[in-house]
C-alpha cells in the first residue's frame, strides 16, 4: 500500500516545493502593469530620460517608457527626483488609477505625475552623452573619401549644467583635400530657479576653406527653460559675446556681438527623436551683419544604446572673407552610441 502511494507522494512534494519556490521568488517583487495589459514582475533599478529600467529573474535588465506604465507597486522605497529639484523617497503604489508615493513619517500619500519625474534612484549628479562616427568611400571614376566624428556630453545637477561638444569633418576627392574643419563648444549654466539660469559659453571653429585659422566666441548670458520634460524641451538664451576671427590669409577681426540661441528637442516616437540648436550672433557695431549656426539632428534608435544619426548643419556669415560663400550646408549620416 505504501509502495502504491509513493509516486503520488513524490509528485505532491515536488509541486509543493515548486509552489514555495515560485512564491518566494515573487514575494516582495515589484509589480508593473503597462497600458496594453502586459504585466512585469521584477525589481525597479532606476529611471532617467523617460525610461524605467527593470531587472527580472527571467531576463536581463530591460527598459520601458514611463508614459506606458498604467500601475506600479514597489516593495522597497525608491528615490524620486523631480524637474522642480524636489526629492522624495518612499514606496510606489497605484490606487484608483493614480500613482502614489506612500506616506512616510514626514508626509502623507503623494500623487505622482510621471512627466514631472526627472529620475528614479539616480544620483543628483549625472553624466550623459553621445559619440558618433560616419563616413563614405567611393573608388572608380571618382576617388572620394569623407569622415565625420563627433561627441557631446552633459553633466547635470539640480543647481547647474555643464555641456561639451566636438565635431570634426574631413574629406578629399581625387587625392585633393576638400574639407577639413573642427568645431568645439563649452557652456556652463547655473540655475537660479528651476527654469531661469545664467550662462557662460565658449565656441571655437577652425576651417581652412573659410579662411579661419581660429574663430573664438566667448560671452555671458541668461537662459530660460520653456519646456523640460521627457517628451520635449526648449531653452531660450540671450547674452553678449566677444567675437574674434584669426584668419589664415585675410585681416584678423574682433568685435562685440549679441548672442541669441534656441535649443529644442522633441521625442516624436519612443524610437525617433528630433533636436535643433540655433545660435545667432548679430553684430552690435555694424548693423545688419550677423553669423548664424543651425545644427539639426534626427536620431533613430537601433536598440540598446545604438542609433542612427542624420544631421544637418547650416552656417551663414553675412560678411565672409573674400572668395568665401555666405552659406555652408553639411548633411551627414552616422552611427551613434549613447551613454
Residues in the chain predicted with pLDDT less than 70, given as ranges, are: 1-28
- Grid coordinates representing 245 are 576671427
pLDDT at residue 24, as a whole number: 43
- Grid coordinates representing 154 are 552633459
149 exposed, middle or buried (CB, 10 Å; 0-12, 13-18, 19+)? middle
| CATH of span 126-338 | 2.40.160.40
pLDDT at residue 326, as a whole number: 94
Name beta bridge partners: 56: 59
49 φ/ψ sector (left φ>0, alpha ψ -120 to 50, else beta):
left
pLDDT at residue 19, as a whole number: 46
Which residues, 6+ apart, have CB-to-CB distance to 12 below 8 Å? none
Q: 219: how many CB neighbours lie within 10 A of its CB?
A: 19
pLDDT at residue 189, as a whole number: 98
| Per-residue pLDDT reduced to its tens digit, 276-324 | 999 999 998 887 899 999 999 999 999 889 999 999 999 999 989 888 9
Q: What is the CA radius of gyration of the chain?
A: 27
pLDDT at residue 12, as a whole number: 53
pLDDT at residue 13, as a whole number: 52
Q: 198: how many CB neighbours lie within 10 A of its CB?
A: 15
pLDDT at residue 335, as a whole number: 98
pLDDT at residue 194, as a whole number: 84
The predicted model scores a pTM of 0.69
In angstroms, the CA 117 to CA 97 distance is 17
- Phi first, then psi, for residue 2 (nearest 5°) are -60, -35
pLDDT at residue 58, as a whole number: 75
Which of 202, 201, 166 is CA-nearest to residue 182? Answer: 166
- Grid coordinates representing 290 are 550677423
| Inter-residue contact 308 to 286 (CB < 8 Å) | no
What are the extents of the domains in the chain? Answer: 2-120, 126-338
pLDDT at residue 25, as a whole number: 44
Q: What is the dihedral of CA 120, 121, 127, 130, to 10 degrees?
A: -60
138 exposed, middle or buried (CB, 10 Å; 0-12, 13-18, 19+)? exposed
- Grid coordinates representing 276 are 535643433
| Inter-residue contact 222 to 196 (CB < 8 Å) | yes
pLDDT at residue 287, as a whole number: 79
| Per-residue pLDDT reduced to its tens digit, 151-198 | 999 998 878 999 999 999 999 999 899 999 999 999 999 999 989 999
pLDDT at residue 269, as a whole number: 92
In angstroms, the CA 246 to CA 259 distance is 20
Vertex 55 angle, CA 27 and 68, to 5°: 95
In angstroms, the CA 225 to CA 236 distance is 7
Amino acid at each position: 500500500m505504501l509502495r502504491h502511494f509513493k509516486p503520488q507522494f513524490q509528485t505532491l512534494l515536488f509541486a509543493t516545493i515548486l509552489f514555495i519556490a515560485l512564491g518566494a521568488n515573487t514575494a516582495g517583487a515589484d509589480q508593473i502593469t503597462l497600458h496594453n495589459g502586459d504585466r512585469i514582475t521584477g525589481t525597479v533599478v532606476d529611471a532617467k530620460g523617460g525610461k524605467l529600467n527593470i531587472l527580472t529573474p527571467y531576463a536581463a535588465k530591460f527598459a520601458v517608457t514611463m508614459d506606458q506604465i498604467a500601475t506600479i507597486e514597489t516593495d522597497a522605497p525608491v528615490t524620486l527626483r523631480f524637474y522642480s529639484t524636489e526629492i522624495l523617497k518612499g514606496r510606489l503604489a497605484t490606487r484608483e488609477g493614480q500613482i502614489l508615493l506612500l506616506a512616510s513619517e514626514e508626509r502623507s500619500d503623494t500623487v505622482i505625475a510621471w512627466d514631472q519625474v526627472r529620475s528614479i534612484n539616480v544620483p543628483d549628479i549625472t553624466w550623459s552623452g553621445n559619440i558618433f562616427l560616419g563616413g563614405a568611400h567611393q573608388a572608380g571614376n571618382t576617388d572620394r573619401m569623407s569622415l565625420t566624428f563627433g561627441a557631446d556630453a552633459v553633466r547635470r545637477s539640480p543647481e547647474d549644467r555643464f555641456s561639451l561638444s566636438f565635431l570634426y569633418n574631413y574629406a578629399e576627392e581625387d587625392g585633393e583635400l576638400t574639407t577639413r574643419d573642427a568645431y568645439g563648444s563649452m557652456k556652463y549654466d547655473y540655475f537660479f530657479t528651476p527654469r531661469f539660469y545664467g550662462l557662460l559659453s565658449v565656441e571655437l571653429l577652425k576651417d581652412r576653406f573659410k579662411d579661419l585659422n581660429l574663430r573664438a566666441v566667448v560671452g555671458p548670458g541668461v537662459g530660460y527653460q520653456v519646456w523640460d520634460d521627457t517628451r520635449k524641451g526648449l531653452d531660450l538664451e540671450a547674452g553678449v559675446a566677444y567675437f574674434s576671427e584669426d584668419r589664415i590669409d585675410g585681416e584678423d577681426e574682433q568685435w562685440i556681438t549679441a548672442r541669441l540661441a534656441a535649443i529644442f528637442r522633441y521625442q516624436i516616437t519612443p524610437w525617433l527623436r528630433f533636436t535643433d540648436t540655433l545660435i545667432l550672433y548679430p553684430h552690435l557695431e555694424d548693423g545688419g551683419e550677423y553669423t548664424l549656426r543651425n545644427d539639426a539632428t534626427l536620431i533613430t534608435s537601433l536598440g540598446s544604446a545604438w542609433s542612427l544619426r542624420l544631421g544637418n548643419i547650416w552656417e551663414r556669415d553675412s560678411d565672409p572673407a573674400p572668395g568665401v560663400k555666405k552659406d555652408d550646408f553639411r548633411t551627414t549620416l552616422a552611427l551613434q552610441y549613447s551613454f
